[in-house]
Amino acid sequence: MRALAAYLSGIADTLGSRASSLTAPVAGMRFEGPAARQFRERMRAWESTAVEETQELQDLARRLRNAADWVEAEQNLAHRRELEAQARAKEHAMRP
């Protein structure tokens, strides 16, 4: 789970970085007219979608990390309970 979370987080970072590197130059372009406005609007829409997807991937990665923490805590609790049960059984067996 943690490996998948790290993988998704890495994809999100890459997507965010690439979205910025592709859309930043568009703002500085020096051409005008309907085609230029339409192109800029499409690029802004694409960037907005990329940002949303980046945030969703990061959120999913966070949820996976939280789930991994929960699973690990439950496993540790089960292990402690098993050790306590074994200790009680051993103590009970040693009584006359």
Residues 82 and 44: their CA atoms lie apart, in Å, by 57
Structure tokens at 66: 């939280």
**Per-residue pLDDT in tens (0 to 9) along the chain, 96 residues:** 999 999 999 999 999 888 888 888 887 888 889 998 898 889 889 999 999 999 999 999 999 999 999 999 999 999 999 999 999 999 888 887
pTM: 0.74
Give CA 75 to chain center in angstroms: 23
Q: What is the CATH number of the domain that holds 48?
A: 1.10.287
Q: Identify the three-state secondary structure at position 10.
A: helix
Number of domains in the chain: 1
Its domain, for residue 34, covers 2-94
* C-alpha span between 77 and 85 (Å, rounded): 12
Structure confidence at residue 50 (pLDDT): 93
Q: Which pLDDT belongs to residue 25?
A: 84
End-to-end Cα, the chain, rounded Å: 48
